[in-house]
Structure 1
Amino acid sequence: MMEKMIFGRYVPAESPLHRMDPRSKLLMVFFFVCIVFLANNTMTYVILGIFTLVLIILSKIPFRFLYNGLKPVFWLILFTLFLHVFFTKEGEVLYSIAGLDIYEGGVRQGLFISLRFTYLILITSLLTLTTTPISITDGMEQLLNPFKKLKMPVHELALMMSISLRFIPTIMEETDKIMKAQAARGVDFSSGPIKDRIKSIVPLLVPLFVSAFKRAEELAIAMEARGYRGGEGRTKYRRLRWQTVDSLLIVSLLAVTVLLVIFRT
């Protein structure tokens, strides 16, 4: 399961995207999530696809690795596609299957929504794949600094979000171990009535929650033992540096936004 899980993982590499300032990548992800909803036709989705492909190439992350990472959510994307194909009734009727009419608008809308999910997953995954958790924390804290005037615990909030991202692969690995242990004891997660499958999840959830709380307690004790008292008065060993390539990333994102507005119907 771990080799199929890409979100929350960091893959060391020497690439332009790895060397970028985490603040520029965080801003890129935030604005990409916003502008992806501007796409509503083939041309706009092609523009988003080219932008995503360029970032993947710059990250030097193998395509096969990303493909394997999409497998866990492939069924969700496929379900969304079929949902629109069979229930969206727009445009001309293309086929009729067992009394169900498949419309041109349903197929088009299903493909567009599936592409939107795929782009969002890839872009957000590239953030964690090319940025260490500590860099994400520093970048998030820097971006949220203006909210300190509103008495917002910026450092603690950034640290909490970074730890959450970091522990996603760990929890998935723990889930995999517990599932294998329960399967060795005769628990069947993949067959039988729905009622029995739901009951079989209980032996999985209880040890998973116990393990998660135990890890959280161990992390809190370790932080206290190292003298962690929050972000007030703390200095940083690594300084964030905004470079020309970071400005180019933001400018390219603005250019993509302009193109989406121009070609949007």
Structure 2
Amino acid sequence: MLRDITIGQYYPVDSPIHRMDPRAKILITFAYIIGLFFINHFIGYGFVVLCLYGTIQMSKVPIRYMLKGLRSILFILLFTVALNIFFTQGGRVLWSWGFLTITEQGLIIAAQMACRLILLIIGSSLLTLTTSPIQLTDGIENLLNPFRRIGVPAHEIAMMMSISLRFIPILLEETDKIMKAQMARGADFESGNIIRRAKAMIPIMVPLFISAFRRAEELAMAMEARCYRGGVGRTRLHSLHYEKVDYCAFVLASLFFIGCIIL
């Protein structure tokens, strides 16, 4: 399951989506996320699926790779759907037993929440899969630059977000190594109920935290050795500038957002 998490990973291929300006992709992703919360009909979700499918095809990221990331949120997805099915009041009652009640309105809301969560994860993963950590840092910093006048540390925020995203696959790989080492010593992480599996994960936390702190210290020492000064006087190999494809993407994103509001 740890290998199924795609958020924070970068898929290096040459595609029009990869070549887009990172600022454009960040703004379009925000518009996409906000647009999802305006949709109240399944026709609108179908419209989003078509747009998202076309974008994934343009990005040249395998659809199986995108769908693989949904396995990591399967428990959250099922838990959210169950809450909405059994505890939503209103509408025609379809089934009832004790304090559990399934209504027609509950089924509709549960299906909408499931669609919204799935599309949210896939769309967010597409941003990190098509944007390298360096580009993502530069894009976030550039977008936050106007807020420096009111004291917002744009570079520091962008650096922290980039490092956090970059550490996700590193920590997952480290967790996988620790689990394999524990399994070689007889540990069992697969059998038993959820509580037993959760207790079996406790011995992994200590070495994982130690490894994370060690990597953080090594990163800090490497930044100091390279005379890192919080972005002061920092130069870039590739300067950010919008291309024609970015303006076309902005137009399409605007139409998408309007379509989400209407549908």
TM > 0.5:
yes
Q: Which residue does the alignment assign to 2:130?
A: 130
Deviates more, 1:221-230 or 1:167-176: 221-230
Q: Which amino acid aligns with 1:200?
A: A
Q: Which residue does the alignment assign to 2:90?
A: 90
* Ranges in structure 2 where 5+ consecutive residues have no aligned partner: none
Q: Which residue does the alignment assign to 2:74?
A: 74
Q: Which amino acid aligns with 2:52?
A: T
Q: Which residue does the alignment assign to 2:260?
A: 260
TM-score, normalised via structure 1 length: 0.91
**CA distance change for structure 1 residues 90 and 31 in 2, over 3 Å: closer, same or farther?**
same
Q: Does the 8 Å contact 1:2/1:169 carry over to 2?
A: no
How far apart in 2 are the matches of 1:193 and 1:242?
52
Q: Which residue does the alignment assign to 2:30?
A: 30
Residue 102 of structure 1 aligns to a residue in which SS?
A: strand
How far apart in 1 are the matches of 2:56 and 2:176?
28
Deviation at 1:237? Answer: 1.2
Q: Which residue does the alignment assign to 1:149?
A: 149
Deviation at 1:250? Answer: 1.8
How far apart in 1 are the matches of 2:120 and 2:195?
34
How many aligned residue pairs are there? 262
How far apart in 2 are the matches of 1:7 and 1:258?
27
How far apart in 1 are the matches of 2:244 and 2:92?
49
Q: Which residue does the alignment assign to 2:57?
A: 57
Deviation at 1:150? Answer: 1.6
Deviation at 1:193? Answer: 6.8
Q: Does the 8 Å contact 2:7/2:129 carry over to 1?
A: yes
How far apart in 2 are the matches of 1:57 and 1:196?
41
Alignment of 1:156-175 (within 5 A): 156-175=156-175
Deviation at 1:41? Answer: 1.1
Deviation at 1:149? Answer: 0.9
How far apart in 2 are the matches of 1:38 and 1:154?
30
Deviation at 1:170? Answer: 0.6
Q: Does the 8 Å contact 2:89/2:103 carry over to 1?
A: yes
Q: Which amino acid aligns with 1:110?
A: A
**CA distance change for structure 1 residues 206 and 116 in 2, over 3 Å: closer, same or farther?**
same
Deviation at 1:51? Answer: 2.1
Deviation at 1:91? Answer: 2.4
Q: Which residue does the alignment assign to 1:240?
A: 240
* Ranges in structure 1 where 5+ consecutive residues have no aligned partner: none
Deviation at 1:197? Answer: 4.5
**CA distance change for structure 1 residues 60 and 200 in 2, over 3 Å: closer, same or farther?**
same
TM-score, normalised via structure 2 length: 0.92
RMSD: 1.9
Residue 124 of structure 1 aligns to a residue in which SS?
A: helix
How far apart in 2 are the matches of 1:9 and 1:179?
21
